[in-house]
Amino acid sequence: MSLIASNLSIKHEKNFHLNDVSFSMSKGEIYTIIGRTLAGKTTLLKTIAGLISPDSGGLTFDGHDFGSIPVWKREIAMVYQQFINYPHLTVYQNVAFPLKQRGIQKTEIHRRVIAALSQVGLEGFGDRKIQALSGGQQQRVALARSLVKEAKIVLLDEPLVNLDYKLREQLREEFRGIFDTKASEDSILIYSSTDPVEAMQLGGQILVMDEGRVIQQASAKEIYENPISTKVSQITNDPAMNLFDGRIEDGCIVLSPEIKFDLPSHFNGLPQGDFTFGLRAAAISLDDNGFPFSVELSEISGSETFLHVRHEGLKIVGLLNLVQNFSVGGKVSVRFDTKHLYAFAPDGHLKSSPYGGLQ
């Protein structure tokens, strides 16, 4: 069973909402669509659901033309980023709704609703009104309604984005458990997110979207190790990968007259010339023998510190262990861990990665 999209395009006036999108998805897999806001993630999910018709291109599911099947006859489920439920119904009635629509027997509906509520941790909440639930509980109801259908395709459109941090972390863990169970069965799970951490944690296959295009589709590991372009590297890293223009000349990488370092071994095949180099924030550290930078901003995030530093036109962000205090304008010595350096061509395409991706 597979869902195949061929050259899907949706254009509104001069802007493409989807631009020649093609992919293939198989059952039992989790697919995460990652992209910035307005990248086309929701449009793609709604197109798969049948809520939006593409201007051109098509979708097939199990070899059948999906476009000719109306939304209400497609075996799909969808959870939105807003907590969308039926406010006039109780929790039980909400979860039972899609089953009633299918004309399933009452006893079977009861069995499946109770199972779904238990799966999302809402046992005993059946008689409650939706308005009486917290945001997290409301989203669990929406999730239960999507699970109870045992749909062939489950679409999750940034389902955690409107929850507070703690709840997001908790539900993300629970989602993984639920997905693992579901994914092993008969479904294709498609999850959209703007959060690279979320995408990487979910694992599975990742589709990176930008301006209506799928710019890379690969496993989470492959995307992490070999982002095919600077855009992918920016979208799939938080904080975004540091990018800086420089040159390779005489066996050295030259970023500025003062900042030069030896060519790492994985760059040996690269010719001399201009490149855009990329380095993740975690590969930046403080070292007395490093290059001089001045502190622009220091942000504490949990037990880590994001340090924004600058040397003339070169601005980078480092991720330092533990909470560390820096004064703005203060001087620090920064070391680049060149073992983790990426090289991109001036047009943005990956030329060399520390994980062997050389194009």
**If we measure between CA atoms, which residue out of 35, 47, 43 comes closest to residue 6?**
47
Distance of CA 137 to the CA centre of its chain: 23
Looking at 18, 21, 77, 343, which residue binds other proteins (CB under 8 A)?
77
Residue 282: C-alpha distances to residues 2, 99, 238, 267, 311 (Å): 38, 48, 10, 20, 19
77 contacts: CB under 8 Å, gap ≥ 6: 98, 145, 146, 147, 149, 151, 153, 154, 155
* 118 touches other proteins by CB under 8 A: no
- Please say which residue, 40 or 50, places its beta carbon nearer to other proteins: 50
Whats the size of the chain, residue-wise? 359
- Please say which residue, 134 or 324, places its beta carbon nearer to other proteins: 134
Give the per-residue contact string, 142-161, with other proteins (x = CB under 8 A; - = no). ---x---x------------
* 46 touches other proteins by CB under 8 A: yes
Least distance to other proteins from the beta carbon of 108, Å? 15
What's the rounded Cα separation, in Å, for the pair 63 and 4?
A: 9
* 98 touches other proteins by CB under 8 A: yes
- CB distance 260 to 297 below 8 Å: no
Residue 53: C-alpha distances to residues 18, 45, 190, 226 (Å): 11, 11, 19, 33
- CB distance 246 to 255 below 8 Å: yes
Least distance to other proteins from the beta carbon of 59, Å? 15
- Please say which residue, 66 or 244, places its beta carbon nearer to other proteins: 66
* 71 touches other proteins by CB under 8 A: yes
Q: Which stretch binds other proteins (CB under 8 A): 79-87, 187-195, 201-209, 240-248?
A: 79-87
* 355 touches other proteins by CB under 8 A: no
- Please say which residue, 85 or 119, places its beta carbon nearer to other proteins: 85
Residue 39 DSSP one-character state: S
Token pair, residue 222, equals 């492959």
* 72 touches other proteins by CB under 8 A: yes
* 13 touches other proteins by CB under 8 A: no
Looking at 82, 90, 256, 333, which residue binds other proteins (CB under 8 A)?
82
- Please say which residue, 88 or 166, places its beta carbon nearer to other proteins: 88
Least distance to other proteins from the beta carbon of 159, Å? 12
Give the per-residue contact string, 199-218, with other proteins (x = CB under 8 A; - = no). --------------------
**If we measure between CA atoms, which residue out of 62, 83, 86, 91 comes closest to residue 153?**
62
**If we measure between CA atoms, which residue out of 104, 86, 191 comes closest to residue 145?**
86
Where is 232: in which H helix or E strand?
helix 230-235
* 130 touches other proteins by CB under 8 A: yes
Unique residue bearing structure tokens 């939006």: 52
Applying CB under 8 A, the residues found at the interface with other proteins are 46, 49, 51, 70-72, 74, 76-78, 80, 82-88, 97-98, 101-102, 130-131, 138, 145, 149
